[in-house]
Amino acid sequence: MTLADAETIFLALSDVAPGDREAFLRARCGNDAALRREVDRLIAALDVPDEFLDPERIPTLDMAAVDGPLQPGSRLGDFLVLHALGSGGMGVVYAAQQDRPRRTVAIKVLRRGFRHPEILRRFENEAEMLGRLQHPGIAQVFAFFPGDRTTPAHLVMELVSGPPLTDYARAEKLSIAERVSLMIKLVDALQHAHQRGIIHRDIKPANVLVAEGSQPKVLDFGIARAIEREMQRLTHQTAHGQFMG
């Protein structure tokens, strides 16, 4: 059992009616008690009592508190935070449930220390570029919020449940032919971006997760460079001595 196994089952529950949940979990977890316990732990964050969701009682966010982990049940606009997925130098990524349409998404929240105008422009630029890309091999952007006095800047994206590229290849013991097939899907996604004038600049296994159906998904276009003249000014210029990618 791995955390990825539990999260895959947990995320699939968003499409299962409450009355069918127990049968679904028995079928997916089988006799693996450890896996079921981990899934139940994740479900506990999802099953927030109705009275807790009273708008007057929902935890509010402020700029002084958001650098700590957002607690399950906190809200970012129309999104209910479920749990943290991971963190990087500039932000933290959370799994969250969207109210309408009802679906599970990933939300990348910018850390307080990086809310400099230039960093915010780069963050917004990531949303703009990803919004122009529509490909099964690239995580889709759903929404972007630039932040205000009470809510941090955040990017709402398709939630990709799967391991990094190299972990997947090792775990599945892929043959050379299967690895080549996986790479063909990956370069097809990158070609889609390149044809639209966007160069990722930070392709590495951690930024390529493999979803169901052996579909690699490219993530994190945070330092991508847009070739078009109107986008170059935001993405190409860096401070003296600063190396990106």
How is residue 40 annotated by DSSP?
Answer: H
Provide the CB-side half-sphere exposure for 122 (13 A, CA). Answer: 19
User: Can you tell me the distance from the alpha carbon of 183 to that of 174, in angstroms, rounded to the nearest whole number?
Assistant: 12
Six-digit token pair at 94?
A: 């959370």
How is residue 139 annotated by DSSP?
Answer: P
Catalytic residue among 5, 40, 67, 202: 202
DSSP letters of 63-126? TTTTTSPPPTT-EETTEEEEEEEEE-SSEEEEEEEETTTTEEEEEEEE-GGG--HHHHHHHHHH
Do 83 and 6 form a contact (C-beta atoms < 8 A)?
Answer: no
Cβ neighbors of 52 (< 8 A, separation 6 or more) are 58, 73
User: Can you tell me the distance from the alpha carbon of 169 to that of 180, in angstroms, rounded to the nearest whole number?
Assistant: 11
167 noted as active-site residue: no
Q: H or E element: which one contains 144?
A: strand 141-145
Cis check for the bond before 164: say yes or no (omega within 30 of 0). no
Active-site annotation, residues: 202
